[in-house]
Amino acid sequence: MGYQYPSDIVGALVLGPGCVMLFIKIRPLVMLSEHMLRQFQTRMYVVHALMFIFLADAYNVSSGLQGTATGLA
């Protein structure tokens, strides 16, 4: 239907910052993310392609994003 439950929104508000805290505080995760960024530094086109696919999928799933895109156009 394209509508979000309040629990989905609250969960995202908790999980998003929680994941960021994990990647900041846990040293092996920091090293892994830095390594991955170095690996893809010369191949940013792969990162851009994956981001495009993710955003296109999110656009198709959420009617809110479709309304925002229509409003901006």
Six token digits for residue 20: 């960021």
- At residue 69, the pLDDT reads 66
Domain enclosing residue 68, as ranges? 43-73
Structural domain tally of the chain? 2
pTM of the model: 0.43
Q: What is the pLDDT of residue 3?
A: 66
Cα distance between residue 28 and residue 22, in whole Å: 10
Question: In terms of domains, do 72 and 61 share one?
Answer: yes
Residues 51 and 28 placed together within one structural domain of the fold? no
**Residues 70/63, Cβ–Cβ less than 8 Å:** no
Q: What is the pLDDT, as a whole number, of residue 67?
A: 66
Distance between CA atoms of residues 26 and 39, nearest Å: 20
pLDDT, tens only, 7-65: 878 888 899 898 888 888 889 988 988 898 888 888 888 888 988 998 888 777 776 65
Token pair in block for residue 65: 């994003």
